[in-house]
Amino acid sequence: MNNRIEHHPDRLFPSDKTTRSIARNLYHSIKDLPIISPHGHTDPSWFSENLSFDNPSSLLLTPDHYILRMLYSQGISFESLAIPSRAGPENKTDPREAWNIFAANYHLFRGSPIRLWMNYVFKEVFDIDAALNSDTAAYYYDSILAKLSTESFRPRALYDQFNIEVLATTDSPLDDLRHHKAIRESDWQGRILPSFRPDPVTDPDFEGFLNNIEKLGDITREDTYCYQGYLSALRNRREFFITMGATATDHGNPTAFTADLSKNDIGRLFNKALKNDLNPIEAEHFRGHMLTEMASMSHEDGLVMQIHPGSYRNHNNWIAGTYGRDKGADIPMAAEYVQNLKPLLDKHGNNSSLTIILFTLDETTYSRELAPLAGHYPALKLGPAWWFHDSPEGMRRYREQVTETAGFYNTVGFNDDTRAFLSIPARHDMARRADCSFLARLVADHRLSETEAGELAQDLTYNLVKNAYNL
């Protein structure tokens, strides 16, 4: 039985020797390029405070919903994994015991991208090559814990070690961005940028929506109980985010539905929203109109607009109620883009100075809807394979279904979309390998020259994402 981490230097490259050689050469030409991470969910306080991470469990296990959902699916309780409940009291599970459970069940991740990410972290970041299991759990925990106490494993040092050029967080419009401010005022040169995520005040179904509207008014000193004051407050917050370095917004609507309502109609819906009196159809129209409003504001202020629809968030009511959001219970849904986006595209799709980046969890829309849309409208670009499809096979399917219609240059490179800081270099390495494998096949099929493939590898890894997000 193999007792070493499976971390082959040719992992994810084609099995055919000729194509593998091409992929390997392409990869070596771009593997050391800086990482640009334009969309993610890391905690900015890590970089403002630059404190040592507490322990292996709180760093690698607790924040990673990919890991949590797999373990939970096998009947392993969140309590045993040291996940705190919303109601308290504080979870008393020893982080070491939580790690032991993870180690004993590491075999559950065989064949999954999580296994590839974690093996990369163990081998490349912590220099551990023993396979993780019950027998090695204590060795892993002690080795990682010892390294986390050193200066070279503090957040800023790891950022530099990972060769990250810029990292964007995702932030509520109600956030004071004090950690971003502290980073900017420090003598550290790392670029940690906020992104404007208005869902708490643009989605009437968002938890605490009415309180959030009140807080928005308090922060901006605008009358958020009238629609025009509400819009002014949103513009105010966007301007503040821009002063703190933001280049993008992000929108997690359940669907891609958009609307362009009359002043009377949106005013009526807004007043009903303030009374918590919207039915589901009205709530969808309110969200859809606000996407179009956000596109209008992006046209005004230059923020790149990201739309991440198609997830039934917090599907498990008990988990959400007991442990909160983002615990691995978000489920993909079927999506429709051609009709749903038309109101927004009628208004803004022909604007070449506006960038709207579309994502999907419904792969059936790639070749039928998204690639043709992005292959036509100047304002549209396609985001990379996302979330459940952020995987070797998902990346391959994405390139196969999108490239022939939208080309490479209507896409925006890769983003990791992660809460797990140490997985960032692992995820980018996977994407680079997957793209080089796809390009190698085109070279082997005589559809690209090796020179063109080399230029594309550079573009897909670095140039496209930097340009798309104005970085």
CA distance 39 to 419: 10
The residue among 101, 122, 153 that closes a domain is 153
Mean pLDDT of 233-258: 98
Specify the CATH number for the domain of residue 348: 3.20.20.140
Same domain (yes/no): 335, 188: yes
Q: Is residue 244 over pLDDT 60?
A: yes
Q: Is residue 246 over pLDDT 80?
A: yes
In a domain, 9, yes or no: no
Residue 238: pLDDT band with limits 50, 70, 90: very high
- Residue 31 corresponds to which tokens in the numbers above? 């593997």
Kindly report the number of other CB atoms within 10 A of residue 75's CB atom. 6
Same domain (yes/no): 226, 307: yes
What are the tens digits of pLDDT across the range 172-223? 999 999 999 999 999 999 999 999 999 999 999 999 999 999 999 999 999 9
The pLDDT, as a whole number, for residue 351 is: 97
The pLDDT, as a whole number, for residue 89 is: 67
- Domain hosting 93: range is 54-153
Mean pLDDT of 265-273: 98
Mean pLDDT of 389-415: 97
The residue among 135, 153, 171 that closes a domain is 153
In a domain, 10, yes or no: no
Block residue for tokens 């159809």:
281
The pLDDT, as a whole number, for residue 128 is: 97
Same domain (yes/no): 116, 21: no
* Average pLDDT over all residues of the chain: 96
Q: Is residue 47 over pLDDT 80?
A: yes
In a domain, 147, yes or no: yes
Same domain (yes/no): 149, 191: no
Same domain (yes/no): 113, 243: no
Q: Is residue 26 over pLDDT 70?
A: yes
Residue 63: pLDDT band with limits 50, 70, 90: confident
Residue 87: pLDDT band with limits 50, 70, 90: confident
The residue among 153, 184, 210 that closes a domain is 153
Q: What is the tally of structural domains in the chain?
A: 2
In a domain, 293, yes or no: yes
Work out the widest C-alpha separation in the chain, in whole angstroms: 70
Q: Is residue 376 over pLDDT 90?
A: yes
CA distance 64 to 67: 6
Percent of the chain with pLDDT over 90: 96
Do 254 and 361 form a contact (C-beta atoms < 8 A)?
Answer: no
Same domain (yes/no): 141, 283: no
Same domain (yes/no): 133, 159: no
Mean pLDDT of 85-91: 78
Same domain (yes/no): 181, 139: no
CA distance 205 to 231: 18
Helices (H), 149-262: 155-161, 178-185, 199-202, 209-220, 227-243
In a domain, 410, yes or no: yes
Query: Any idea what the Cα angle at residue 417 is, between residues 90 and 439, rounded to 5°?
Result: 150
In a domain, 128, yes or no: yes
Mean pLDDT of 164-174: 98
The pLDDT, as a whole number, for residue 35 is: 98
CA distance 159 to 165: 9
Continuous segment of H or E residues that includes residue 287: helix 280-301
The pLDDT, as a whole number, for residue 1 is: 43
Q: Is residue 91 over pLDDT 80?
A: no
Same domain (yes/no): 122, 158: no
What are the tens digits of pLDDT across the range 313-351? 999 999 999 999 889 999 999 999 999 999 999 999 999
Specify the CATH number for the domain of residue 91: 1.10.2020.10
Q: Is residue 251 over pLDDT 50?
A: yes
Same domain (yes/no): 320, 229: yes
Residue 86: pLDDT band with limits 50, 70, 90: confident
In a domain, 274, yes or no: yes
Mean pLDDT of 7-12: 96
Same domain (yes/no): 319, 445: yes
CA distance 105 to 76: 10
Percent of the chain with pLDDT over 70: 99
In a domain, 5, yes or no: no
CA distance 15 to 263: 59
Same domain (yes/no): 417, 435: yes
